[in-house]
Amino acid sequence: MNSTQELPVFRVTNTLTGKKEELRPLEPGHIKMYACGVTVYDKCHLGHAMQAILYDTFVRYMRHRGYQVTYVRNYTDVDDKIINRASELGMDPMDLSAQMIEACDRDLLSVGVQPADHQPKVSDYIDKIIQYIQQLIEKGAAYATEQGDVYYSVRQKADYGKLSNQKVSQLESGHRVASHSNKQDELDFALWKAEEAQGANWDSPWGKGRPGWHIECSVMATDLLGDEFDIHGGGRDLVFPHHENEIAQSESHSGTCYARYWIHSGLMTINHQKMSKSDGNFLTIEDALLRLDPEVIRYNIFQVHYTSNVDFSQSSFAQAYKKVFYYYKTLQRAQVFLSQSSSESQELVEDFDFATYTESFYSAMDDDFNLPRAMVAFNELFQGLNNLLDLKGMKNRRKVGSVKQGLEEAQKFSKILGIGNQEPDAFLDKLKKKYFDLSSISLDQVQSLLEQRKSARENKDYALSDSFREELSELGIQVNDGTQGQSWDLNDKALEVFYSN
């Protein structure tokens, strides 16, 4: 690790202040970060993938730049949705949660998300949650009801609403007093809920019940990161009420600042419509991966700033597949070039210093994790590699040092982005196999046409050879003739199979 004097200073958009600010961790060289995870009542969808991929990428980058990072991403395994879904299925709520956590772990890993340092579950924190709530009651920030519920008293927090930039007077107009409510004030929110559902309640000083939604994150975050820590992340839809309530109860409990920097990612849309399970505009990670390579999903997410919505459409899938395919063809081409050269030269070709792309990549990421700008540097590096390999009038041995440098710089980016980390031959072979699985075309059919074309060329029947080339092209196959003989790749027509309905 670099010394703290050498560490870069990042700038992040802080929702709490509405400004882009320098990120100065409480502990020099050590960034503590919490991101809200999944409520596990069903399988994870692409929106969950988007948020997890973004924060995982931020963590990878901060570590790459020399910071120690402690990253916490929770699982909500106690919730109304879980109880209702378990009831529909005739299951114990905790059994359902356990199954969905296992599936979520598998799904997130399948799209390249590395496990967080800590992945706490609400059910493991019940005793600490009860203790935390008792302390809030003692401090006069919360109250229990005869019905066994406990509520946080919003009005006693003078700056309530500071994250969402709302005032209590504004919130009042949006609430109608309910005669059946046992709250002292309709703005108050639940810390503990009386609950009778089998398998979803615990004994407490207020009777059998379970935690409210917001309290869990405060307890888990402060237990693992301390009363005050650096970054709290989540989707933009969590700003209010979830994160607003987190701040209120946490600061009432500790008397200090909670998270110092709040960063919020945009939402997922499909064809510019908000993803909604009830509307059928919904795609699980598991279903998406039947057609989409994980790196295609990541590429799409990185095309807009993390604070903006990400739209998944046929056109975006098409562009992503072409780009990822291009990256691996470039890597394959560079590797073949080096394998055919015996030179050990470290000489760099003038105008091909690939370290300049790293500087551009760092500059983009240091400035509020600007992934679209970082991807420009990534694309330019690959374009530079191809231009170098295409360079005429220069002996190949002179190119070796620059090609090696280009591959080394590309590998740095790939480890952060999770794009381009696989062996090119293995990736391209996997893509071919998936193409034949998804299409009505068989490998035997392609190989038969290739053999017929080869025979036609050997017999100097070039018209027939060209007709076979055109037939193969219509089947999604691009034929290449080189010094090693005939080879083939997928063309753009073939790539349509992966994102077509």
Rounded alpha-carbon distances, angstroms, from residue 103 to 100, 114, 217, 341, 461: 5, 15, 22, 46, 56
Residues ≥6 apart with Cβ < 8 Å to 384:
352, 354, 357, 406
Last-in-domain residue among 372, 393, 422: 422
Q: Is 397 within the bounds of a domain?
A: yes
Q: For tokens 């730049």, what's the residue?
A: 65
Alpha-carbon gap, residue 495 to 325, rounded angstroms = 9
Verify cis geometry, omega within 30 degrees of 0, for the bond prior to 241: yes
User: Do 408 and 454 fall within a single domain?
Assistant: no
**What residues form DSSP beta bridges with 10?**
none
Structural domain boundaries enclosing 245: 4-265
User: Do 190 and 60 fall within a single domain?
Assistant: yes
Rounded alpha-carbon distances, angstroms, from residue 373 to 153, 305, 306, 353, 441: 44, 9, 12, 19, 39
Alpha-carbon gap, residue 153 to 379, rounded angstroms = 52
Alpha-carbon gap, residue 73 to 263, rounded angstroms = 14
**Residue 168 corresponds to which tokens in the numbers above?**
């209590």
- The per-residue DSSP string of 153-206 comes to -GGG-TTTTTTTT--HHHHHTT----TT---SSTT-EEEEEE---TTS-B--TT
User: Do 188 and 105 fall within a single domain?
Assistant: yes
Q: For tokens 């395919």, what's the residue?
A: 325
**Residue 132 corresponds to which tokens in the numbers above?**
């935390």
Residues ≥6 apart with Cβ < 8 Å to 461:
none
User: Do 414 and 443 fall within a single domain?
Assistant: no
Q: Is 36 within the bounds of a domain?
A: yes
Residues ≥6 apart with Cβ < 8 Å to 307:
13, 236, 264, 265, 266
Do 97 and 77 touch, CB atoms closer than 8 A?
A: yes
Distance, first Cα to last Cα, the chain: 47
Rounded alpha-carbon distances, angstroms, from residue 345 to 116, 333, 404, 405, 468: 41, 19, 10, 11, 42
Last-in-domain residue among 401, 422, 443: 422
Nearest-5° Cα angle at 244, 238 to 248: 150
User: Do 93 and 220 fall within a single domain?
Assistant: yes
User: Do 390 and 242 fall within a single domain?
Assistant: no
Q: Is 92 within the bounds of a domain?
A: yes
User: Do 433 and 417 fall within a single domain?
Assistant: no
Strands 310-312 and 268-270: parallel
pLDDT at 37: 96
**Amino acid sitting at position 208:** K
Q: Is 291 within the bounds of a domain?
A: no
Do 73 and 35 touch, CB atoms closer than 8 A?
A: yes
Do 46 and 312 touch, CB atoms closer than 8 A?
A: yes
pLDDT tens for the chain, residues 1 to 501 = 444 458 999 999 999 999 999 999 999 999 999 999 999 999 999 999 999 999 999 999 999 999 999 999 999 999 999 999 999 999 999 999 999 999 999 999 999 999 999 999 999 999 999 999 999 999 999 999 999 999 999 999 999 999 999 999 888 754 444 445 789 999 999 999 999 888 899 999 999 999 999 999 999 999 999 999 999 999 999 999 999 999 999 999 999 999 999 999 999 988 788 776 656 677 899 999 998 999 999 999 999 999 999 998 888 888 999 999 999 999 999 999 999 887 777 788 888 999 999 999 999 999 999 999 999 999 999 999 999 999 987 877 889 999 999 999 999 999 999 999 999 999 999 999 999 999 999 999 999 999 999 999 999 999 999 999 999 999 999 999 887 789 999 998 998 888 775
Give the predicted TM-score (pTM) of the model: 0.93
Q: Is 24 within the bounds of a domain?
A: yes
**Residue 140 corresponds to which tokens in the numbers above?**
């006069």
pLDDT at 495: 87
Domains: count for the chain = 3
Q: Is 254 within the bounds of a domain?
A: yes
pLDDT at 397: 82
Q: Is 345 within the bounds of a domain?
A: yes
User: Do 416 and 433 fall within a single domain?
Assistant: no
Q: Is 69 within the bounds of a domain?
A: yes
Q: For tokens 């089998």, what's the residue?
A: 198
User: Do 92 and 222 fall within a single domain?
Assistant: yes
**CA proximity to 71, closest of 14, 122, 121, 118:** 118
pLDDT at 276: 65
Last-in-domain residue among 238, 265, 292: 265
Alpha-carbon gap, residue 44 to 283, rounded angstroms = 9
Do 28 and 3 touch, CB atoms closer than 8 A?
A: no
Residue 73's CB is within 10 A of a number of other CB atoms, namely: 24
**Residue 118 corresponds to which tokens in the numbers above?**
């800590």
User: Do 115 and 190 fall within a single domain?
Assistant: yes
HEC string of 210-221 equals EECCCHHHHHHH
User: Do 449 and 485 fall within a single domain?
Assistant: yes
User: Do 388 and 437 fall within a single domain?
Assistant: no
Q: What is the CATH number of the domain that holds 88?
A: 3.40.50.620
Alpha-carbon gap, residue 329 to 495, rounded angstroms = 14
Q: What is the CATH number of the domain that holds 324?
A: 1.20.120.640
pLDDT at 279: 63
